[in-house]
Amino acid sequence: MPVVSYREALNQAMDEEMARDERVFLMGEEVAQYNGAYKVSQGLLAKYGPKRIIDTPIAEAGFAGIGIGSAMVGLRPIVEFMSWNFSLVAFDQIVNNAAKMLSMSGGNFNVPIVFRGPGGAAHNLAATHSQALESLYAHFPGLKVVMPSNPRDAKGLLKTAIRDNNPVIFIESEVMYGEKGEIPEGEYTIPFGTGDIVREGKDVTIVSWSKILQHITTKAVSRLAEENISVELIDPRTIKPMDWELIFNSVKKTNRLVIVEEGWPFAGVGAQISHEVSNHCFDFLDAPIERVTQEDVPLPYVHNLEVASLPNIQKVIRAVRKVMYLD
């Protein structure tokens, strides 16, 4: 199987979909002339020209709104945010227009648009540029939220997102763009709402996604394996829709659940998972569900506090040991 980087996988997905459907176009800051702030759109301007690869001014509300309008009248825009932090400037467009148009127009206007870009903390970007916003967007009916953790899923899920007839929030990771992984040969898509069992286990279930899954959770799981603690690691891949059955079946097997996410604790995605699991798996739980999240403060700039504030391997190990009554 070919090995590609996360950014190449995203590039292939957009390239293939633009070749397949001429209504698909990309716009955003630096996506054309500069080949993308993170080089995700490398080579696309040369291939598809300035009508389909469009550099925008630094005006997120404006180009998000233009994208939504163009989607309403039949195009299939991909809108790149240089960072999901900047989407907050376009929040009203996404939440009040993209998410609600189908419902408020009585089914007359679909909004087939993909908003994509990197989310979460990278390194020393400080409080306003380090936010994990998935729980915020998952809150709104009408939005789908997708968070691939590897090149294979990034490509398969972005193709599905572009073909979806409704708005999709597609959250990537700046620190994963260069990371490589195998992808299937040829054309493939991954349906929304199908999670992935990253690692089978029997003692405890961990649900985790995106960069935290790759950089923190899998490492913690390997360490726990050395202590003979067998973790079943689940990557839901799409936050909304969530693959509930996969999680429920795993918890029914292991009787314990830890959710590891980058976002803040209050009303986070893990809080919702925790509710659904305690509701559907109540008689199977042997310990209270544990969550590992970012601390409930704006993320500090300084390195040591940044590390202490974000989820880390020790926090995950502690949570697992707690649900297993080992401490």
Partner 1 sequence: MATKILMPKLSDTMNEGIILKWLKKEGEKVKQGETLVEIESDKADMELEAYDSGVLRKILVPDGGKAGIGAPIGIIAGANEDITGLLIEAPLFPQKTEAIEASKKESPTSLPLSPSQPGTTADVTDGSVKASPLAKRLALENKIELRSITGSGPQGRVIKRDIELLVGREQPISAKVLASIIPGGHRDVELSLIRKTIAKRMQESKQTVPHFYVTVEIDMEPTISFREQFNSATETKISFTDILVKAVSSTLMQHPTINATYLGNTIRQFGEAHIAVAVALDDGLVTPVMRNCEQKTILQINSELHDLAERARSRKLKPEEYQGATFTISNLGMFGVEDFVAIINPPEGAILAVGSIVEKPVVKKGQIVIGHTMKVTLSSDHRIIDGAVAARFLQDLKNLMEKPIALML
The verdict on whether 306 is a catalytic residue reads no
* Residue among 272 and 278 whose Cβ is closer to partner 1: 278
> By C-alpha distance, which of 49, 324, 10 is closest to 148?
10
Q: Is 279 in the site for partner 1 (CB under 8 A)?
A: no
Give the Cα separation of 56 and 323 in Å (integer). Answer: 49
> By C-alpha distance, which of 153, 143, 175 is closest to 64?
143
Count the Cβ atoms, other than its own, within 10 Å of residue 308.
Answer: 12
Peptide bond into 241 cis (omega under 30): yes
Give the Cα separation of 6 and 181 in Å (integer). Answer: 7
Q: Is 283 in the site for partner 1 (CB under 8 A)?
A: yes
| Least distance CB 205 / partner 1 (angstroms) | 13
Q: Is 217 in the site for partner 1 (CB under 8 A)?
A: no
Count the Cβ atoms, other than its own, within 10 Å of residue 282.
Answer: 8
Q: Is 66 in the site for partner 1 (CB under 8 A)?
A: no
Q: Is 287 in the site for partner 1 (CB under 8 A)?
A: yes
Choose, by CB under 8 A, the member of 51, 74, 106, 325 that binds partner 1: 325
What interhelical angle do 244-254 and 269-280 show, nearest 10? 60
* Residue among 194 and 278 whose Cβ is closer to partner 1: 278
Q: Is 282 in the site for partner 1 (CB under 8 A)?
A: yes
| Least distance CB 287 / partner 1 (angstroms) | 6
Q: Is 122 in the site for partner 1 (CB under 8 A)?
A: no
User: What is the enclosing helix (H) or strand (E) of 98?
Assistant: none
Q: Which of 16, 60, 80, 134 is catalytic?
A: 60
* Residue among 108 and 279 whose Cβ is closer to partner 1: 279
User: What is the enclosing helix (H) or strand (E) of 296?
Assistant: none
Question: How far, rounded to the nearest angstrom, does the alpha carbon of residue 289 sit from its chain's CA centroid?
Answer: 22
Q: Is 286 in the site for partner 1 (CB under 8 A)?
A: yes
Q: Is 226 in the site for partner 1 (CB under 8 A)?
A: no
Is residue 280 within 8 A of residue 250, CB to CB? The reply is no
Choose, by CB under 8 A, the member of 166, 285, 295, 312 that binds partner 1: 285
Binding positions for partner 1, 242-271, rule CB under 8 A:
255
> By C-alpha distance, which of 322, 134, 320 is closest to 232?
320
The verdict on whether 123 is a catalytic residue reads no
Residues within the interface to partner 1 (CB under 8 A): 255, 282-287, 325, 327
Catalytic residue ranges: 60, 129
